Amino acid sequence: MPAVHTFDVWQKAGYQVRKGEKHAFEARIWKYTEKKTGTYTEEEAASINSMVVNADGSDMVQAGDEKTSHGFIKKTAYFFTADQVTKNADLPDLPEDVKKESRGGCCWISGNTYAIRDALKAAGFRWSKKNNAWYRREAA
């Protein structure tokens, strides 16, 4: 693995950037995107369907289907070196009175977590006072 990556790449590899670290450098990179741009009208659907040559109708577009725009955009990316990140510790074995769930792109742990709080901190979890639970963003 090269020594320099973006925040997302480090996170997907199971690492986290140390608290207080500033990016090593930033650069504008090309990023692929799929953007929802609305829905097809009846006229647009009929126009597209008139160009379709498949006899089975598998590529037929219905009025109300989502339109998407595909392409690349220029985006500022922040890069971190291997010296600025640490490996996430594995999640400890959870007691029976502790509940684990995934929602909103995060892993949430709630219940009687006082005994395992140090292990949760080491695994990269943070305490949410509002939700009264520990959370960590999941790698996408």
63's tokens: 């009025």
Reported as a single tens digit per residue, the pLDDT across 37-89 is 888 888 888 887 777 665 555 667 778 888 887 888 899 999 999 999 888 77
pLDDT above 90: residue 133: yes
Reported as a single tens digit per residue, the pLDDT across 3-20 is 899 988 887 787 888 888
CB-based contacts of 78, cutoff 8 Å, min separation 6: 6, 7, 23, 26
pLDDT for the residue numbered 81: 93
pLDDT for the residue numbered 44: 84
Whole-structure pTM value: 0.52
Looking at the chain, which runs of residues are DSSP E strands? 4-6, 15-17, 25-39, 66-81, 85-87, 98-103, 106-111, 126-128, 133-137
pLDDT for the residue numbered 93: 81
